[in-house]
Structure 1
Amino acid sequence: MASDLTTIPNIGPATARALAEAGIPDAARLRALGAHEAYRALLAAGARPHFIPYYVLHMALQGRPWNDCKGEEKRALRAQYDALLAETGGGAMTAFEAALDQIGLPRPRPVRAK
């Protein structure tokens, strides 16, 4: 059975797979948890922390475009995100990764040995 997670705006197949792997198999469970706790589950499942997916989940559950997060709302979400990382230990990153995260650029993916 295909997940209905992709019926939520801003959630594509890759995010739906990551959510399912984190124990959030459907839209009802995601809505029940909320964006903050869903992101906590993603971190616990091994997702690399990054602020953009955090606020995209918030916008998705509000039915808003992902890039609608601005100003004071974005600053407030950033504070919540930083607190979550501090709480979960998910904030362990290099200075370079932190700088990329601060300006909203994706971090380079690790090169896997063949």
Structure 2
Amino acid sequence: MSKRIEDMRNLGPATARMLAEIDILCEEDLRSFGVVEAYHGLKFRFGQHVTIVALYAMEAAIRGCDWRALDTETKEHLREQARQNRH
């Protein structure tokens, strides 16, 4: 059974509520949607209230680590993907 968003590391009730508004309700949804697409969905829905840290937090949640533990290369790669894949 897939974890609820609010039970994943780095992602709490506020993030879970925002993700639910873009139809991401559990870990499986987040994995299948993809963190970059989820980030774009959050940015579209919530604008400037969503920062790049949300992207890092979602990636780290899938990896099961603290978002601050992501290495610089991973963060740069995520930022680049987010820039390239804008809608």
* Global fold match (TM > 0.5): yes
One-letter code aligned to 2:76 = R
The answer to whether residue 28 in structure 2 is matched with residue 28 in structure 1 is: yes
* Largest Rg, 1 or 2: 1
After TM superposition, where is structure 1 displaced by more than 4 Å over at least 4 residues in a row? none
Between the aligned partners of 2:24 and 2:61, the Cα distance in structure 1 is: 15
Greater relative contact order: 1 or 2 (C-alpha under 8 angstroms, separation 6 or more)?
A: 2
Between the aligned partners of 1:26 and 1:47, the Cα distance in structure 2 is: 22
Residue 83 (structure 1) shift: 2.3
Structure 1, unaligned stretches of length 5 or more?
Answer: 89-114
- Between structures 1 and 2, the one with greater helix share: 2
Corresponding residue for residue 14 of structure 1: 14
Residue 30 (structure 1) shift: 1.4
Residue 28 (structure 1) shift: 2.1
Structure 2, unaligned stretches of length 5 or more?
Answer: none
Between the aligned partners of 2:37 and 2:83, the Cα distance in structure 1 is: 14
Between the aligned partners of 1:34 and 1:64, the Cα distance in structure 2 is: 17
Between the aligned partners of 1:59 and 1:6, the Cα distance in structure 2 is: 14
Residue 82 (structure 1) shift: 2.4
User: What SS is found at the alignment partner of 2:34?
Assistant: helix
Residue 43 (structure 1) shift: 2.2
User: What TM-score does the superposition give when structure 1 sets the normalisation length?
Assistant: 0.63
User: What TM-score does the superposition give when structure 2 sets the normalisation length?
Assistant: 0.79
User: What SS is found at the alignment partner of 2:46?
Assistant: coil
The alignment covers a number of residue pairs equal to 84
For residues 33-52 of structure 1, the aligned pairs below 5 Å read 33-48=33-48, 49-52=50-53
How far does the alpha carbon of each residue in 1:26-65 deviate from its partner, in whole angstroms, 9 at most, with x for none? Answer: 2221122121121122123234242111111111111111
Corresponding residue for residue 73 of structure 2: 72
User: What SS is found at the alignment partner of 2:14?
Assistant: helix
